[in-house]
Structure 1
Amino acid sequence: MNQQKRVEILTRLRANNPNPTTELEYSTPFELLIAVILSAQATDVGVNKATRKLYPVANTAEKIYNLGLEGLKSYIKTIGLYNSKAENVIKTCKILMDNYNGEVPESREALEALPGVGRKTANVVLNTAFGWPTIAVDTHIYRVSNRTKLAVGKNVNEVEQKLLKVVPTEFKVDVHHWLILHGRYICVARKPRCGACLIEDLCEFKDKSE
């Protein structure tokens, strides 16, 4: 795909959604961090259901840590892999309390050192909470980037590096939200909704559907 076409795709996505954000519900960087940890292999809708009950009771590192493992599990047991996620969240809260006064560090290295936080989660937090031009590649972004030929790669890291290289600076902060939403609602896995797609004429996918 040539760069002119990429810019046109991003320009249209921006015109359609000028201020995109995550569908996870949060009001602080800490709430976002916990929601993203909980969202691994789970839906944002499912995570929001749990955090709507959890956050009014406990929405700081200290308060969640004080719930204890079983207390936290009672709020998140509807989310997949909740046992291991609860352990990671409790450990993360302890590290934040001990090392960062309960605050979320604005540092990739510090974030990736937290239990349950990998590169993708760190990218989401740095981008959404702190406005960094990072691109967190999940299954939706991986699919959309490869399918459209916007950024082709054999794995999520390759796609991330390609996107960082080809996406102009003016689009970098928002591109990860546009591509996730596009993959979630339009360029879906089984049968993409090409007839409803605002970039269909620019997309280089060979097997387009109606």
Structure 2
Amino acid sequence: MRDINTINRKTKAAAVLIFVTILLLISNYFIALNSKKTNESIQAIYNDRLMVSHYIFQYTNAIHQIKSAAASDPLTTEEQKLITDRLQSIRTLDQKYLATVLTAEEKRQFAFFRNQCSAIETLNQNKDRQKITEWSTKSLQTLEILAQIQIDEGKTALTTANTLHNGNQIFTKLEIGLFIILGCLSAYLLVLKKMKVKIKIPEPPSMN
């Protein structure tokens, strides 16, 4: 009977041991998954928000130079060339901007900005300095909207990364608890293995 009880205890302990091991594997899987998503969020903040903010700064600087050149009355050939050069640098920068991940609103605003730059190019050819100034002001306003989008999206990505990091901390604490349980079960199984149950069989009475 003691053998049966010992076997039952071992079976139950082994079942719990397997269950805990499975939980550890699941926990490891989610930690790895969350870590991957956290890295992706951090990379997105850098590539799609911080770098884009730098591009917007360069755009803003170029438009301010265009606006300053348009202040010349009349618009000289030298100022026209400066405006053309700044517009060319903007077009070069467009390729880098478009290589990033854009939200729907960001795509819409960026399309506005590119159209405004095209309008400035046409006005520059016509030497319409007043209209160049007006469209430069409009493009600066569009850039402000794009800059605000970077801030909002950056905050969202950072919140996501923090949430994933907090999730990893919870899974880590769970793993520590499971490892403690695993250690206790292993010790329990070792104790059961060393236990020796001696069953004494009564001898028949002597006939002498």
Per the TM superposition, whether the score is higher than 0.5 is: no
The answer to which structure has the higher helix fraction is 2
Query: The TM-score by the shorter chain falls in which range?
Result: under 0.3
TM-score w.r.t. length of structure 1 = 0.25
- Highest relative contact order (Cα 8 Å, sep 6+), 1 or 2? 2
